[in-house]
Amino acid sequence: MAVYTALQSKMIVRINTYGENCTFTRDTKTTDGYERVTAISSTSDTDQKFEFQPITEEDRKMTGRGVSTEGYMRVYAKPSYDMTNNGDNTTIEIGDKITRTNFDSVSYRVEQIVAKWTLAGVETYRILLVRRIDD
């Protein structure tokens, strides 16, 4: 367990040091009996740290042959975030939105979870493939 603690501590320090403040948003859809969306509510948490990097050639292969990769970024994220400030430990999932607040205020949607790094069965960090969206 000491190895896990050391690795997770290093990744959290890395994300907190090199990451930037972002707003993490999750939309929840309410549907009727016919599966039509009747309402969308959002839960957001500001001042969460994410580390953005340009995508690599390996990431380009994951987007699909012939698909434009403009607007994609690779993001290092912690295994979970406290969205409601009550210790709920919300994990990042596909479809969540991350808005860069201290760089260019651009929003990105999580398109793919590239990797969930685990050690001794416990997740230490996630690598995400995100795509810029227009709000």
Residues shown for the chain: 135
Q: How far is CA 19 from CA 22, 68, 69, in A?
A: 9, 26, 22
Q: 60: which residues sit within 8 A by CB, 6+ positions away? A: 69
Mean pLDDT of 7-18: 82
The residue ranges of every structural domain in the chain are 2-133
CATH of 2-133, one of 2.40.10.270, 2.30.42.10, 3.30.420.130, 3.40.50.11440: 2.40.10.270
Mean pLDDT of 3-25: 80
Q: Residue 130: pLDDT band by 50, 70, 90 thresholds?
A: very high
Return the closest-CA partner of residue 28 out of 83, 105, 102.
83
* 0.85 surpassed by pTM: no
For 69-124, how does the pLDDT look when each residue is reduced to its tens digit (9 = 90+)?
Answer: 678 889 998 888 877 666 667 888 898 999 988 767 889 999 999 888 887 777 88
Could you tell me whether strands 20-31 and 122-133 are parallel, antiparallel, or unpaired per DSSP bridges?
unpaired
pLDDT beyond 50 at 1: no
Pairwise CA distance, residues 34 & 11, whole Å: 44
For 37-78, how does the pLDDT look when each residue is reduced to its tens digit (9 = 90+)?
Answer: 888 777 777 788 899 988 866 656 655 555 556 788 899 988
